[in-house]
Structure 1
Amino acid sequence: MGSEAKYGVLRGKYELGRFLGHGTFAKVYHARNLATGNSVAMKVVGKEKIIRVGMMEQVKREISVMKMMKHPSIVELYEVMASKTKIYFSMEFVRGGELFAKIAKGRLREDPARHYFQQLISAIDFCHSRGVYHRDLKPENLLLDEDGNLKVTDFGFSALSDHLQPDGLLHTTCGTPAYIAPEVIGKKGYDGAKADIWSCGVILYVLLAGYLPFQDDNIVAMYRKIYRGDFKCPTWFSPESRKLITKMLDPNPSTRISIAKIMNSSWFKKKSTARGSNSKLEQEFALGDEVNAGKGGKTETLNAFHIISLSEGFDLSPLFENTKKVDKEELRFATMTPASSVISKLEEVAKTQNFSVKKSDSCVRLQGQENGRKGKLGIAADIFALTPSFLVVEVKKYSGDTLEYNQFCNKELRPALKDIVWTTNGNSMPD
């Protein structure tokens, strides 16, 4: 149970049990309320770590939001406790796991998909009625209880109506790229409710298709597809579901369908007989060759927080590959070093290796001057800000030979960047 084992019984009220999982800044344990005997999920957050990356206000906001969220399809927060070094969230224990795990097995039939979607929309409608916008809706943040009922969780990126700017819009870019609305990417301000509706549209598409509507190995190319609303519905989508998804994935937020109209649509109003985990596999999943359409039938997301939390080192790409590959063409790492310093480090490496450099505030392009086995080696580094002091850097080969690229990364790039790479155990990259 790690560092929490020494507590045994927390505050004389909760008996901590087995480790359930972890995120970037939190560990989650099973716990038992000694007074009632009921199971809870105990989320343990280290104060020092969140203060170091400037996320204390985000945690406070998550607490205030979850205290408001009393709804059957939202994970309930029972209480919050704190010590000098830790914050403890006592939360509803949801036994059925993530909805994502179901989708990974294949696409769902319409009836169970509608069952989950109806509960999702009910929860999000409740949030919006309280002036709360989730802003990171995706299957990984949707849990299932033992009866197959959906529960929305993870309000870490949520916003309240009092966070609106004078123009009446939100301006913080956050969420998971594959599920994010085009206006959020555009950085000109957005309506939080409309952005959540877009994400719900992506989720419904994934439930029915088994893969994402907007996919591309290049994140910039994927963003272009999102901006244009460039997607196609598979042939097995019913006309009613196709019509609803098209209205939800309207790239123009001013004409995007509202939750009220979603709930009034003919597809949504059909009664569902599905009961999640109680349905037989043949009833719940649409089995067949088309399950594997599009990226092997699995969703792939690039959530920077998940990237960081699941790795202790520099090369994170195996987390996002369907099959093991010897030759890797991209690296991702997190850093608390300013973007200008990251760029300076890359320039130093380029200078020692006779690479030309093109740069902006958030990207660097290194171009080799000598021909290799497949022409000149070209490397791109894109910098994404999660908070003003916390960045994720994505490094990719855009031209040349993969072996030469890997050799360059291992011999030159990795050593040069070692001191600035942030890991979950500290601020430097392990040997």
Structure 2
Amino acid sequence: MRVGKYELGKTLGEGNFGKVKLAADIRTGRRYAVKILDKTKILHLNFSDQIKREISTLKLLRHPNVVRLYEVLASKTKIYMVLECASGGELFDRIESKGKMDEVEGRRLFQQLIDGLSYCHDKGVYHRDLKLENVLVDAKGNIKISDFGLSALPQNCREDGLLHTTCGSPNYVAPEVLANRGYNGAASDIWSCGVILYVILTACLPFDETNLALLYKKPSDVENSPESPSIINAFELIGMSSSLDLSGFFEQEDVSERKIRFTSNHSAKDLLERIEVIATDMGFRVQKKSGKLKLIQEIRSQRSLNLSFVAEVFEISPLLQVVELKKSFGDSSAYRQLCKRLSNDLGTNPELERQNSSSFALNSTC
């Protein structure tokens, strides 16, 4: 099949609106990648603006680490975007097949990624969907940033100078994008670059969970200082209620581990300090991390198992906190003994998960 001066060959990939095919200039033999878009699908899914944005954005960009758009052709039913060919495929496939990279190679690729992205930002282009699948590799092993369908320009910012459209890929999206209060396009791109660097050097994602509810909670936890309590939103608060089980909205997950929660009028800082004192007094070893306390009791008796659980404080309001105690493993009786002492000494209303005393959480927000 020929389109203009290009002869189309094998399919390199497929997307929502069509295919990407290898192509060659019939006069020079030079190879290209041609993205073939179906006009009917684009109109049906109301993605005309996204395609126009990608084309207009790529016309602005000329950088060795950004995929280049050479020309756009069209027929009655198709749009043909003639792009630079990156024969090495996606960086995702490379890491999936060969595993993590050494530091020298990882540094080289990351420098290219930052060079290309810095150029985009200088041109006023924010990518907003940086991920391994959108970073291609050419025949020489150099990277090419691709897929600008979700990109934004300065004119897309509101009066506050921020972008407000929530978009991107779950494992790579910056926490401020999810906060729904506006975000800086350049800063959110840099967050995604950090995730990419992590995967390049470890071959695994820094934020990965079995469902989106847990996944989206992780980046917000990272923004909290070790001394700060987690701020709990209404959705998470309702989810704590055993009488309102929201698990059906998400994928199935293991809920077999026992948790105990109670409310307290003490400050978050005071709570964590008191929990540490009580736990230490009862023979527990305490580890502090990201606003949480991990409590470990090593038992040498053959009849008992070592006990480990995590204590975390969620702030509902400055005058009301929720303390959650979740066991990882170990002796249940020892776990409940400590939980009972903590709730009696620090709490205002103890609540055992999956019993009916969880209405405090809902009442306290009225």
Q: Say whether the fold is shared (TM-score over 0.5).
A: yes
1:191 aligns to 2:46 (yes or no) = no
The counterpart of 1:44, out of the listed 36, 39, 48, is 36
Q: Distance in 2 between matches of 1:180 and 1:98?
A: 19
1:73 aligns to 2:73 (yes or no) = no
Q: Distance in 2 between matches of 1:111 and 1:10?
A: 42
Partner of 1:129: 122
Partner of 2:144: 151
Does the 8 Å contact 1:26/1:46 carry over to 2? yes
Partner of 2:231: none
TM-score norm. by structure 2 comes to: 0.62
Partner of 1:221: 214
Partner of 1:206: 199
Partner of 1:97: 89
Other structure's SS at 1:80 match: strand
The counterpart of 2:157, out of the listed 160, 164, 170, is 164
Shift of 1:398: 5.5
Over residues 205-259 of structure 1, what are the superposed CA-to-partner deviations in whole Å (9 max), with x where a residue is unaligned?
111121111121121112111112179xxxxxxxxxxxxxxxxxxxxxxxxxxxx
1:28 aligns to 2:20 (yes or no) = yes
Shift of 1:35: 2.8
Shift of 1:400: 9.5
Partner of 2:132: 139
> Against the structure 1 CA distance between its residues 400 and 186, is the aligned structure 2 distance closer, same or farther, given a 3 Å change threshold?
closer
Q: Distance in 1 between matches of 2:19 and 2:65?
A: 23
Other structure's SS at 2:100 match: coil
Q: Tell me the amino acid that sits aligned with residue 178 of structure 1.
A: N
1:177 aligns to 2:170 (yes or no) = yes
> Against the structure 1 CA distance between its residues 146 and 399, is the aligned structure 2 distance closer, same or farther, given a 3 Å change threshold?
closer
Other structure's SS at 2:252 match: strand
Does the 8 Å contact 1:171/1:187 carry over to 2? yes
Does the 8 Å contact 1:202/1:212 carry over to 2? yes
Q: Distance in 1 between matches of 2:90 and 2:183?
A: 28
Over residues 259-286 of structure 1, what are the superposed CA-to-partner deviations in whole Å (9 max), with x where a residue is unaligned?
xxxxxxxxxxxxxxxxxxxxxxxxxxxx
Q: Distance in 1 between matches of 2:246 and 2:137?
A: 45
1:396 aligns to 2:233 (yes or no) = no
Does the 8 Å contact 2:210/2:251 carry over to 1? no
Over residues 26-47 of structure 1, what are the superposed CA-to-partner deviations in whole Å (9 max), with x where a residue is unaligned?
2011111123221111100011
> Against the structure 1 CA distance between its residues 90 and 228, is the aligned structure 2 distance closer, same or farther, given a 3 Å change threshold?
same
TM-score norm. by structure 1 comes to: 0.53
The counterpart of 2:45, out of the listed 53, 63, 70, is 53
Q: Distance in 2 between matches of 1:79 and 1:378?
A: 49
1:118 aligns to 2:111 (yes or no) = yes
Percent identical residues = 48
> Against the structure 1 CA distance between its residues 207 and 52, is the aligned structure 2 distance closer, same or farther, given a 3 Å change threshold?
same
Does the 8 Å contact 1:142/1:152 carry over to 2? yes
Partner of 1:290: none
Partner of 1:343: none
Q: Distance in 1 between matches of 2:218 and 2:95?
A: 23
Partner of 2:248: 380
Q: Distance in 2 between matches of 1:120 and 1:379?
A: 39
How large is the Cα RMSD of the aligned pairs? Answer: 2.5
1:16 aligns to 2:8 (yes or no) = yes
Other structure's SS at 1:16 match: strand
Other structure's SS at 1:380 match: helix
Does the 8 Å contact 1:16/1:32 carry over to 2? yes
Shift of 1:378: 7.8
Does the 8 Å contact 1:378/1:399 carry over to 2? no
Does the 8 Å contact 1:380/1:398 carry over to 2? no
Does the 8 Å contact 1:378/1:397 carry over to 2? no
Other structure's SS at 1:63 match: helix
Q: Distance in 2 between matches of 1:107 and 1:186?
A: 32
Q: Which has the higher contact order (CA 8 A, sep 6+)?
A: 1
Point out the structure with max Rg over C-alpha.
Answer: 2
Over residues 279-308 of structure 1, what are the superposed CA-to-partner deviations in whole Å (9 max), with x where a residue is unaligned?
xxxxxxxxxxxxxxxxxxxxxxxxxxxxxx
Q: Distance in 1 between matches of 2:155 and 2:187?
A: 17
Q: Distance in 2 between matches of 1:198 and 1:397?
A: 29
| Number of residue pairs aligned between Structure 1 and Structure 2 | 240
Greater mean alpha carbon deviation, residues 72-81 or residues 222-231: 222-231
- 1:335-350 paired onto structure 2 within 5 Å: none
Q: Distance in 2 between matches of 1:396 and 1:75?
A: 36
In structure 1, the gaps of 5 or more residues are 1-7, 232-359, 369-376, 382-394, 402-431
- 1:316-395 paired onto structure 2 within 5 Å: 380-381=248-249
In structure 2, the gaps of 5 or more residues are 225-234, 257-366
Q: Distance in 2 between matches of 1:71 and 1:85?
A: 31
